[in-house]
Chain A
Amino acid sequence: MNTRSLKPWLYLLPAILFLTAFMVYPLFDVFVYSVEEGYNFASQTYSGTGIYNYSYVLHDQYFLQAVKNTFILVIITVPLSTGIALLISLGLNSLPKLKDLYQTIFFLPYVTNTLAVGLVFMILFKKTPYSEGFVNLLIHFFGGESVDFIEGPYWAKMFVMCFYTVWIVLPFKILILTSALASVDQDLYKAAKVDGTSRLRIFYKITLPMISPMIFYLIITGFIGAFKAYSDVVAIFGVNLNAAGMNTIVGYVYDMLYGDSGGYPSFASAAALILFAIVLTITCINLLVSRKKVYYD
């Protein structure tokens, strides 16, 4: 009997061990760091405990800029990417031919290195004294004014950032949604067809409720993912994000820890915990909403 009750824990042991060491323990540790004031990394000493680190971070204009950038990014890209992914998956699902080809093409961005493609995006959007950049040529072609998207006005930079984020997160969402659409019971559609239901009505009354769990899964993970944006930003705007005014919260944490202005684990921890609080709140709200709106059978 004893060996029997021990066995499951044996199976779980490696996972628990790694998770405790690299997820749970750090969580406590980050909290401890974040309340230690005047922590010195070299001598491992600190002068006292309190909430000074939080107030410093919250008053740091770079952090506020990062929060603003992150929120704009999240609010624009999450609904947009989920919506486009839904449209594309619906389109894909209705295709009689070439479905596999399109599916493969749409999946491509997932397989590539974010940094490499980010650099390509930067070159495409960049305007230097030597070259107009491809996107500006397109704008000229349609009769617009050229804009420097990388070092120019704020909205232009934000546009590149959002466009790139949508471009990079779509494949995963399309993958999940197409498989969700494929698993909807075809009898429901046949019944609706017999009744002469309109396309829009079929979508609202059958398709949407049936795939709503997956949509909410995508929205929740989308929020979490967008809040964690960092390497994409680096790829487009370079390492010095503060100067570009395009830093994200994670970028701020990273800079505080390791960048040129780095060496402040306390501030980094405080910022990271603030981010965690934001993500947790939004995830909880999402879960509450989903409980009301999502259809489970």
Chain B
Amino acid sequence: MSSSDAGNPAPVVDFDKLVQRLDDAITALDESRSFAKAGKLPRVFDTVRRVLLQPGGCQAIQDRAERLEKAGVFLGTDWAEPSILLPQLTTYSLQSTEADTVIVEAMSELRLLSVALGHYAHDSVSAEQAHHYLTQVLAINLPMLFGEGGETEREQGKLAVISRSLVQHVASQIGYEHVIDRLIDEIWRILQQRPIQVNSVRQMITQIALCRSDPGVDLGSAGQGAERLISSLYGPTQACREDPGVAVYEERLSHMDSSALQGEATGFARSMHDTGLVSPYHASFMRFILENQDSLIAESLGLSMTGRDCLLRYRDLVLTLIREGVFPETSQGIYGLALLLERGILYQPPVEPALWRQTALSICPEARHRLELAFGYQPQPKAWLIQGVLNMLGQPLGVGQGNNPTCQAARALSMWAYNDPDYLLQMVTWAARDNEIIMHFEGTPVSSASSRGGVASEVTIDLDPVSLVVVPHLDRIYAEMGRLCIGRDGDPHRWVNPEFHGWSAGRGFRINVDVATGKLDNLEEFLRHFYASYHPDYNGNQPLVHPQPAGVAVTDSAARFIGWHAITILRIARDPEGVMRVYFYNPNNDSGQHWGGDVQVSTARKGERFGEASLPFEQFASRVYIFHFDPLERGEPAEVGAEELARVIDRVHQSWGRDRLPADTFQAEPPVV
């Protein structure tokens, strides 16, 4: 593989002069009044484009990344806030036929490259974040790195040269060798959290597969670990190993004897439970045995005794769910179904009839439209919704909020799927069938249909089918409940959380931030109370009964405050090494976040179940700012050791509490300045 900027025109252009023109254009933009900046942008964009067309152009822009950003090239665009950028979207901008779209994306990547290499200390994104982001950008855009120009590039004309040399430049700086290996690690790390939404993971695996099968690409020793991932999607069993296509595979099935079918069933089950990904062939297989050999269902779902028992007891329902909801496009639902059976929730009396209702649910045009917009017309929206329900009930901790500020709604869905499944099914029914959900706030009905709008101005479609349909309603209700609290003293979550999530959320409420001033408030007593409510050593060794909503102050890897975030505390227990940990659910799509210092949220190998995030109790206590408790169970503030308490308080002061020290903290803890 060559790292040269192949396809570039011969350097007939005086590059130094061109770069001088760029510097002039940047200066003009920089010195411009804010109200006139827009008029100066075309010259900068066009000059950047011409620089990028030259060999060495990417480096020239990278060297000027900080000046470009500070002069205002990103002002008023999404690129101004790099922390919200999604790697998946880069493909669309880099393949755009609009020059400005390609250029702004290129400038943004080169800026992040400069940040990642430590040349540019950015205000809102760290070097690690930038590096991580670029790795994903490379993964998503691997075809530009290795592949041949396709139809898109042809349409794009000369702009494709820019996109391609950009991706090559980024790869050469970040390092080709670990792009693929990092990507594979990344995919495994995400899969270990067993998310419901696996579209981007599937996309990345597909790219690796294409790359590996291209004889023109020499990956060296890289990419060895990709085999299991690729096969889980494209050839998990003997009869589809070489990815023959669904039609050929179905043909093969019709000639198999029972032991061969048995082998297929175990192959599918093994692969599915290994990765959490389901191959479309698996769906073909399920539909096939439904007609001929339904005794193989338990085998192909990889069920344990519990699951098998559940399947036998509710056989008709399961067969109907498969018939109505499992297609090659919705194959991921098979994994949800298997886990749903394993959870035994069908034994709760209302769940079975609620699922029967689901199989025959008529969907209102609004919900139908959203589903079709996100997933297309084949199969029917009903099938997608069944897939969504199966996945959500099977993987309640795999719910993600997508790129939406709707962590509250995602948390509620996850919480209900986890401990109140028939209530979740009721919500899905109201939203999908009636296009209206009504909840009650202290006795007052709150309807999603008559709300004045939600927290999110628009809920995007990068969501699982259930969230796609239900979240817009929940978000409006949540916002409406907040409005009903206007005028009350203190934080509205005190009243909204229990009313919104359900009776099991504790009515007792503690917050360690003074809402009016934003300063820390009575931190030590807050912490003693938190220990007394949740820490088994201080609460009489009582495991948490119902998952509880809580609020955390999220910090970045430099421990700087980013924002308030809704999570669910699931359980507190000792990990395999004997460390007391808080296991919690985070509605972000990826829970494995670095919150600064040694506070690295773990998602695997510390005793986590699929979808759980965890932190040692002390570290968690240093980020929590809101928790709920049962007022009738309130004990004495815990006699937490002075040393441990001091450590927690110190962590607060060193991170999100840095600028929130109240004037009178001196007695308790001298602030470190």
A and B are partners in one complex rather than unrelated chains: no
Binding site for A on B (CB under 8 A): none
Binding site for B on A (CB under 8 A): none
